[in-house]
A and B are shown apart, each in its own frame.
Chain A
Amino acid sequence: MQDEPQKPYTEGPMHSTSPVIDPGLTFASVTDKISSIVLKRKTSLAWFFGFAISFALFQLMLLAMTNLLFVGIGLWGVNVPVAWGIDILNFVWWIGIGHAGTLISAILLLLRQRWRTSINRFAEAMTLFAVAQAGMYPIFHLGRPWLMYWLFPYPNTMGIWPQFRSPLMWDVFAVSTYATVSAMFWFVGLIPDFATLRDRARSKPFQILYGMLAMGWRGSARHWHRYEMAYLLLAGLATPLVLSVHTIVSFDFAVGIIPGWHATIFPPYFVAGAIYAGFAMVLLLTIPLRKFYGLEGFITMRHMHNMGKVMLATGLIVGYGYIMEAFFGWYSGNKYERFMIWNRMHGPYSLYYWALILCNIITPQFLWFKKLRSNLLVLWIISFIVSIGMWLERFVIVVTSLHRDFLPSSWGMYQPTQWDWAMFIGTIGFFFTLLFLFIRFLPMISIFEMRTILPEAEMEE
């Protein structure tokens, strides 16, 4: 910080008060600061502590899965009216969380929202890890998980294709494509930074490791040219996926004929919900990280405000969805739909419904106020509540729709068992395990992209 602060970068006069990057940073200091987390800084005790807890929970997940494989999915609370429980709920929840990353990376890139740069790497990593958690559920919720490959269209001696009319089939493609493209996007974006780490790493193994990951990046103009092209193409590819994945996940329900599932409103409302949940999770993780690693210069209040606004907007869309669901339940005159809404509001799971309304409609209204948006604690708490709210939303959709459908004789209740929770908590542990490894071994903020938004990078054409 010896250099004199230069003219800060601004997008326009209205943002002059909250820049996207601390005006005091330079090319060198950006690189230093971000790469030092990986290369130089002593790994803090807190990191070990957090990692240990996450890792222990990760082991719990492995235990739960092993037991499940040996004994059967009867260990979970699923039953006959409610054949999907918190397994599918968690799948949708994790997939939803995985939405913010790609949205931030791809859509905001295409929309030239430069503020995305500070958070995209982190958000993308979060996406990948969340999708990894999500991906496990559809496999382990099967009665015979070892046969999951039957869902893929591969040439086989049985001469059978999968059933292409089934939304679960679409899920297989949607989720696997999404996971692949997100991973590629993330990795391609990391290549220049791998090269930086390779050049700066002091121990041989890390030099070799990062060297391999950098794939021979030398920073030549040709490399940059190709990189830019590839990145842009991947962004173009990823953009429709953001919309398609959750649309297709929503089809799992919308295609079903169960009242509470069979609704055309599901695709847009699921996508909005996913973005809502994703941003909540990004905020939930960014706020403590930023503080802990002193990254306030990179992730500024501007980001916080923007993310808050996105949450407010998507939250309103989601709220609109709830209102429309209730409206159509009444307006359709369909006895089953009417009962479904009545049952959500007054049935045995009404508590979940009202908690959901509180979490997802009432809480985000605080985000209208700039003052509250600026208070990181408030923002963090709101994000936390929204994350819970989105979990409840899926609970309401999956469980309350199923538990009382058409024939009252078949009505039942659903009670998750300890193994349900073990698996869920276990995936949270796995998620954080990956996240801890990520922040320790990879640059959590894109170094080279950060440099492009420095004032230094301003070039007079």
Chain B
Amino acid sequence: MSDSDRHINFTLMRDHILALQDVETERGKKRYWRSLEELADTPLFREFVEREFPQQAEEWHDPIERRTFIKLMGASLALAGLSGCVFQPPEKIVPNVKQPEDQVPGKALFFATAAPLFGAAIPVLVRSNEGRPTKIEGNPDHPNNRPTDFPPEDPIRDPRGSSATDIFTQASILSLYDPDRSPTLTFREDIQTWTAFVGQMRSILDEQRPKQGVGIRFLTESIISPTLGALMKELQTALPQSKWHQYEPANRDNAFEGAKTAFGQPVNTTYRFDLAQRVLSLDCDFLAPAFPGYLRYSREFMARRRITETNKEMNRLYVVETTPSTTGATADHTWEVKPSEFAGLAQIIAFSVGVQAGTTRPLLGNEGPFAPGSSFDPNNSAGPVWIEALARDLQQHKGASIVLAGDNQPPFVHAIAHAMNNALGNVGKTVFYTDPLEVNPVSHRESLKDLIDDIDAGRVELLVIIGGNPVHNTPADLKLSPERLQKIAKQKDTNRIVHLSEFRDETSEWSHWHVPAAHYLESWGDTRSYDGTVSIVQPLILPLYDGKTAFELLAVFTEQYDRKPYDMVKTFWQTQRSGQGQTQAASATSNQTARPTATPAAQVTPAPAPSPSQDFETWWRQSVHDGFMANSAFQPKTFAMNSGWANQQTSPAQQSAAGTFELVFRTDPSIYDGRFANNGWLQELPKALTKVTWDNVAIVSPNSAQQIANARDNGGATKGREHYVPLVDIVNQQGQKITAPLWIMPGQPDGVVTLHLGYGRRLAGKVGTGNDGELVGFDAYPIRTSFEPWFTTGAKVTNTGRDYLLATTQLHFNLEDPKFSTEERDIVRSQTLEEFLHGTGEHAEEEKHGHPTLYPGYDYKDQAENAPNYAWGMAIDLNNCIGCNACTVACQSENNIPVVGKHEVVRSREMHWIRLDTYFRGFDPNHPEGVNFMPVPCMHCENAPCEPVCPVHATVHSAEGLNDMVYNRCVGTKYCSNNCPYKVRRFNFFLYQNWDQPTYQLMRNPEVSVRSRGVMEKCTYCVQRIQNAKIQAELEDRKVRDGEIVTACQAVCPTEAIVFGDVNDPHSRVSKLKESERNYSLLGELNTKPRTTYLSQLKNPNPEIKA
């Protein structure tokens, strides 16, 4: 208290108080008082009360004190801002007095759900450790994953369903825990409550309702979820004048347009690859994760390539493509064709197959799209030799062949594919047509155009963007640019743009309301897999960041604006099943249905399908538990083929002008259309063909590279400028320009530049954009137009003269000096089926006899009397590997492998325990004979070179033949890595793991050590899974069954190329594979006796076509 306050006139006070005794006075009525001062009611006290903050108020007039005060206030405000940004996930602490059923601490639970990342959903089983989702596996019970029936009596056939997933699904667990996810609902950058948001939306709705919602526009991605579709329709009914637009950069417009041409309506095509003996892909990358149904297709396709005792036949894949793809790498015959010549070529093939595709025989330009050496006169009748041979081969397999057209090919090619399937009698046998998965399969281009037109015409008053990132990924001519979004805002001078997304991205930046979206592992929902089978999306964890689902956001615009997603989904299906059973109100979390089993491997029998008479609740619980609704796949339909369309080829093949290039746009193999840009696992995943990480590149052929930049080598070490490639400017016909690093790809057609979409995100997060706003990769959207979304001609490519640093994990494509070629090193073995069936089998002999040695080997069969005597081993069938990279990501997820970042990859310090090596065959970089993929995990050599050189016993051999790594004992001499001929060891040069990020701590697999700085690590054959199975077997007093242990890479492999098991057991699947004549050891001549062996690749070329 300052001095003035202390000066109380006690005399005066005493008088006042005494006066109170006179009850008649006004003051005497005071019943309650705080102090004697108040009771006395002195002027001093009055002043004291009137001044709210007596001390500071006084200092306000003191010039020096006031400034200090303001300084302090300012500082505390600023500091308050520092802590205010962090929004911690709410933590509820509940003592585990009553242990929940099924929950044993330390034992993982598995929940079935589905991953609706884009397009058709992937059914998954998610591992939950103490309530934290930690790993995603495929759902082996799902009808899409049922065991393949072919080949019959396959000794290695897995009796379980496939638990395969793709890289995107695997990596989605990292997105769940991404600390960059948007934590709060914001309004113009300010944190707001959901209630405030709902309030404003309701008031806009009140204003719009009389106008039937004329100013309201919803922009979504393709909607597959039936419930969400019903909700959208409900909205359309309630607000008939509002519009629903759909846009996704990688849409199926072409496929639907093609189907419309052929059948008059959009269809979804499904295939039976297990019944197909000949497959022709017209630029269709069906063995890559972006293709709907890819998991099942690749598994069944590859099953037909498995040679067994009884089955000596293989299917044959022809690929005609515009840029090298993993599908092309897998094919028996691949032809690279310029996009402008593609449609014409497809027409010729169709004609040769017998489709009346046009009354006149199509003509081709002078630069025929044909493989060099083929003697085809374009004006001659039937086409080049290979087309005839191909057509003959297809015709000989009528009803057992498939023709596919890629989503990036124009509708005409799709129509041709339909016509060819029709002509070949495949429809109903290997090719089926169903309703589209999409609730409303509109043309995305048209839909977006409508929206843009409405915005430009000022008709949009409220724009609700559900997911997607249109500001970034809309085409150049229909850009949902910030200017357009501002126009909406200006029009009403209110806050009219809402964006729901997981990240604060480029679109959120220009939206007024940004609503954080819940991850699919946090939300209820439903979706369909490629054949229409419905899966319930079940959450495994409460939203970490207060995210909302599309259901919740859209419900705001309906009458019942506070519906919960769980209720919506359940109610929808209840209505669908027309009131069967009774409704039971149950809370969302208690309805989570855990699977009782501990590991997915142990699940053998699928739950029995509920009979229709079962009440709804039982059916519902069963469907949620199983992860799919039984018998919900779309029924195949038959459509009549239109005629007459073939004559009207949409746009005649534009020949490129001399000196210009054709552009091919593709979604990125790692980050798709850019939605996974902030996912470190995907960013650091080397793309199968280029091995580039953290960047996209402009892919050209060696000849074109020479022409553009006089470059012969990709960042060739020989030039001493390792990892540096030329930067080029690419200008499209409309004059838009981007700058991209040039990458030479053997096999790329000359004069064609392939660009991958999705990179160059300005606001993706710390991973996808970089710390100091440095962009990751380049953005190809600015030169992509809506009318030529996948191909364009007439682009100019010029060298800027600058260099660009690229992080690749494999520099050379080994088309170097033949003297030292990969072939001489005998790394990947590839032979034709013919050679194999009539081969001498000399390699097999060599493999069995091994190398002479003075030292007796360790006897893994007879270690101890009562020991189970296991000897773990792995066989990788190169014939089945499609280079999908899923093993690498799955391993990263299972084994807590860190992401190191671009600059560490440049220094070759990536940490992947299993990598995918890519080798090109042949000596001509412009026309390689093919591509081979080779997944390389640790070989677990019996004579491991790494073991004797470690001075501290940090890497030792187990009695079961595992080459164990003891992290705690490692001092980091790195000698083991030097001495490893396979270079599978990875070293923590820095503290790569993020030890501080709390969400990452939730994500990690608790059964695997998190490695610190300075220790070596490598593949363990998922030793934690081995131990789990051994413990279980010991409890049940039995040996571990074959197939009980599934390594992470094996589980995720869609083509079952990786098989793990006990090589002591001659009946195990791995032993049977190792018995094969194709089995060989990588670098076997070093006598390391690797436990991981490979089976050589087989190709089945058409003998009539010379390679």
Which residues of A line the B interface, CB within 8 A? 71-74, 77-81, 83-84, 141-144, 147-148, 150-151, 158, 160-163, 165-169, 172, 252, 255-258, 335-336, 338-339, 342, 347-348, 402, 405-413, 415
Contact = CB atoms under 8 A, between A and B. Distances in A.
Contacts of A168: 949, 951, 973, 975
Interface residues of B, number: 59
Which of A72, A80, A84, A338 has the most chain B CB within a 10 Å cutoff? A80
B827 A74 contact: no
B1002 to A, nearest CB: 26
Contacts of B951: 151, 162-163, 166, 168-169, 172
A188 B988 CA distance: 45
Interface stretch (B176-184, B359-367, B408-416, B903-911): B903-911
Given A80-B986, A406-B825, A144 B972 contact: yes
A256 B983 CA distance: 13
Contacts of A143: 970-974, 987-989, 1013-1016
Contact of B909 (A74, A161, A255, A258): A74
Interface stretch (B350-358, B583-591, B613-621, B816-824): B816-824
B982 A72 contact: no
Contacts of B722: 348, 413, 415
A158 B953 CA distance: 12
A257 to B, nearest CB: 5
Interface in B562-599: none
Given A84-B974, A143-B987, A409-B919, A256 B953 contact: no
Contact of A144 (B811, B814, B971): B971
Contacts of B975: 83-84, 166, 168, 252, 256
A166 B1014 contact: no
B1014 to A, nearest CB: 3
Contact of A72 (B820, B825, B919, B1014): B1014
Interface class of chain A by DSSP? loop
Contacts of B934: 409
A348 B720 contact: yes
B952 A150 contact: yes
25 contacts: A72-B990, A81-B983, A141-B974, A143-B971, A143-B987, A143-B1015, A150-B971, A151-B952, A161-B953, A163-B950, A163-B952, A168-B951, A169-B951, A338-B820, A339-B819, A339-B820, A347-B718, A407-B825, A408-B812, A408-B825, A408-B827, A409-B918, A410-B983, A411-B811, A411-B812
B908 A81 contact: yes
Given A163-B951, A168-B949, A147 B971 contact: yes
B990 A335 contact: no
B989 A405 contact: no
Which of A143, A148, A252 has the most chain B CB within a 10 Å cutoff? A143
A404 to B, nearest CB: 9
Contacts, number: 172
Interface in B696-737: 717-718, 720, 722
A310 to B, nearest CB: 33
Contact of A408 (B822, B985, B987, B1016): B822
A413 B909 CA distance: 11
Contact of B971 (A77, A79, A148, A335): A148
A255 B981 CA distance: 13
Given A142-B973, A407-B982, A78 B989 contact: yes
A425 B596 CA distance: 63
A410 B720 CA distance: 18
Given A71-B990, A150-B952, A144 B909 contact: no
B991 interface: yes
Nearest to A149: B971
Contacts of B971: 142-144, 147-148, 150-151
Given A258-B981, A336-B825, A412-B908, 13 more contacts: A72-B1013, A79-B989, A143-B970, A160-B952, A163-B953, A168-B949, A342-B820, A407-B981, A407-B1082, A409-B915, A410-B982, A411-B811, A413-B722
Contacts of B970: 143-144
Contact of B977 (A83, A161, A408, A415): A83
B979 A256 contact: yes
Contacts of A167: 949
B206 to A, nearest CB: 60
Contacts of A147: 971
Given A168-B975, A410-B983, A74 B953 contact: no
Interface class of chain B by DSSP? loop
A142 B936 CA distance: 27
Interface string B865-902: 00000000000000000000000000000000000000
B750 interface: no
Interface string B956-988: 000000000000011111110111011101111
A295 B799 CA distance: 65
Nearest to A158: B969
A71 B992 CA distance: 11
A158 B1013 CA distance: 21
B1014 A406 contact: no
Nearest to A255: B949
B917 interface: yes
Interface in B2-48: none
A407 B909 contact: no
Which of B820, B919, B934 has the most chain A CB within a 10 Å cutoff? B820
B461 to A, nearest CB: 55
Interface in B983-1007: 983, 985-991
Contacts of A256: 945, 949, 975, 978-979
Interface string B903-934: 01001111000010111000000000000001
Nearest to B1086: A257
B447 to A, nearest CB: 45
Contacts of B989: 72-74, 78-79, 143
A77 B907 contact: yes
A166 B983 contact: no
Contacts of B810: 409-411
Given A151-B952, A163-B953, A78 B974 contact: yes
A433 B71 CA distance: 53
Contacts of A172: 951
B948 interface: yes
A398 to B, nearest CB: 9
B1008 interface: no
Given A72-B1013, A348-B718, A406 B972 contact: no
Nearest to B809: A409
Given A72-B989, A348-B720, A408 B824 contact: no
A34 B429 CA distance: 103
Contacts of A339: 819-820
Question: What are the 6 A-B residue pairs with the smallest beta carbon separation, nearest first?
Answer: A143-B972, A143-B1014, A74-B989, A410-B983, A83-B974, A409-B917
A409 B936 contact: yes
Contacts of A406: 825, 981-983, 1083, 1086
Contacts of A405: 981, 983
A77 B909 CA distance: 10
